[in-house]
Structure 1
Amino acid sequence: MSEHSHSTEGHGHDDHAGLSKGKIWKVFGILLLITVIEFIIALVFIPKGYMTQHVGNYIYIALTLLKAFYIVAYFMHLKYEKLGLQLALTVSFVFIIYFIVLMLIEGGFLNIHMMNH
């Protein structure tokens, strides 16, 4: 039988040491603040007419992407990975979103085009 070492190459324990309890609570506070802003927009700004639903939707999308960034960067430890992996995942994600948007636009165009004939 051969002996296997249980060490991982390139990833020491100190690589992820930046995620302390204090950092976790800070990220939690940021996520909580973003969620509170979303609720205020949904329960105050849009119903009272300070903001249209259309503008509110764009703000929701932006705030949700910001929350997704914090979750992926800190809780899924992407912030502590090498730049190559970060770029590969980010570029892939951008292309997936781009293709989804294109499909939604084209699908909407097809539905409108078919209803007019």
Structure 2
Amino acid sequence: MSAEHTHDEHAAEHEGMTKKKIWQVFFYLLGITAVEFFIALYMIPKGLIGHGIGNFAYIALTLVKAFYIVAYFMHLKFEKFALKTGITVSLIFIIYFIVLMLIEGSYQFVQMN
């Protein structure tokens, strides 16, 4: 009886990905992409915002899109907390090490006097 209950709970967690939810996430992603195009093709060329703010907006909006893709289309939203935490911590360390290597790599061009 306990195994059946666990199976039902597991099935209920994954029920969230219906056709309606898939289309909803698709339109979120489409809207975010439209905002990115609006920034790139209208706001920056017209001088309404600077390149630095535009780049920051691209990065932030791309991270939001990455969240939706990973959470819903790769089903990470429906996984256990420990798996989510493990993936998130690993990703943070990977980004940290890439930034660290870029910073340290720039020292090869420093002239020693």
**TM-score bucket (shorter structure):** 0.7 to 0.9
- TM-score, scaled to structure 1: 0.81
Counterpart check, 1:107 vs 2:105:
yes
Counterpart check, 1:28 vs 2:22:
no
Structure 2 partner of 1:59 = 57
> Across the two proteins, how many residue pairs are aligned to each other?
107
CA positional deviation for 1:90: 0.7
Q: Secondary structure at the match of 2:42?
A: helix
Structure 1 partner of 2:70 = 72
Q: Secondary structure at the match of 1:48?
A: coil
Seen in structure 2, the aligned counterparts of structure 1 residues 60 and 27 have a Cα distance that, compared at 3 Å, is: same
CA positional deviation for 1:13: 3.6
CA–CA separation in structure 2 for the residues paired with 1:39 and 1:108: 32
CA positional deviation for 1:103: 1.7
CA positional deviation for 1:106: 2.5
CA positional deviation for 1:59: 1.1
* Aligned-partner residue type, residue 79 of structure 2: E
In the alignment, structure 1 segments of 5+ residues that lack a partner are: 1-8
Percent identity for Structure 1 against Structure 2: 57
CA positional deviation for 1:89: 0.3
**Equivalent residue in structure 1 for 2:42, among 40, 44, 52:** 44
CA positional deviation for 1:109: 4.3
CA–CA separation in structure 1 for the residues paired with 2:94 and 2:77: 21
CA–CA separation in structure 1 for the residues paired with 2:103 and 2:64: 24
- TM-score, scaled to structure 2: 0.84
* Aligned-partner residue type, residue 55 of structure 2: N
